């Protein structure tokens, strides 16, 4: 049975999908939060991408986007993920791999979680 996953995202990443055609989502698993067990996402599962505000509440009037997962690859580092998948496929708005890496590491707790759990490149359409 295929599972439906909810990805809450900010306006920057929501626009990357809608306006720039982003089709690879990088997610770091958090084994303490069941809905963040991204390593378990499989081909055929669906992703519901919701735009959320700063309080992590869905923005009213904005319909979620629904996609099918094509496959999921796990990496040991953000750097390896961006090198193998191409930073433009993961973060189309960035001008360089270095800029994309810097952005990822501004996210709270991301460095430690990547070291502990790796990072997933989730392909969707």
Domain count, the chain: 1
How far apart CA 84 and CA 74 sit, in angstroms, is 11
CATH of the domain at 113: 2.30.130.30
pLDDT tier for residue 107 given thresholds of 50, 70 and 90: confident
Tell me what pLDDT residue 20 has. 82
pLDDT value for 37: 94
Q: Is the pLDDT of residue 1 over 80?
A: no
pLDDT tens-digit map of 40-80: 999 999 999 999 999 989 999 999 999 999 999 999 999 99
| DSSP code, position 60 | T
Q: How far apart are CA 110 and CA 28, in angstroms?
A: 7
- Structural domain span for residue 65: 4-124
User: What is the reported pTM?
Assistant: 0.89
Task: Look at strands 4-9 and 46-51 and give their pairing.
Answer: parallel
81-97 pLDDT, tens digit per residue, is 999 999 999 999 899 99
Q: Which residues pair with 72 in a beta bridge?
A: 122
**Which tokens is 124 given?**
């969707």
């Amino acid at each position: 049975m295929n599972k439906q996953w909810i990805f809450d995202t900010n306006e920057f990443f929501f626009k990357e999908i809608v306006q720039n055609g982003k089709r690879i989502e990088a997610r770091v698993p958090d084994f303490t939060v069941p809905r963040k067990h991204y390593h378990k996402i499989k081909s055929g599962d669906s992703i519901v991408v919701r735009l959320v505000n700063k309080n992590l509440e869905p923005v009213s009037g904005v319909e979620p986007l629904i996609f099918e997962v094509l496959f999921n690859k796990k990496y040991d580092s953000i750097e390896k993920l961006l090198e193998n998948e191409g930073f433009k496929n993961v973060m189309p708005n960035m001008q360089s791999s270095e800029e994309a890496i810097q952005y990822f590491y501004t996210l709270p707790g991301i460095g430690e979680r990547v070291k502990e759990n790796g990072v997933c490149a989730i392909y969707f359409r």
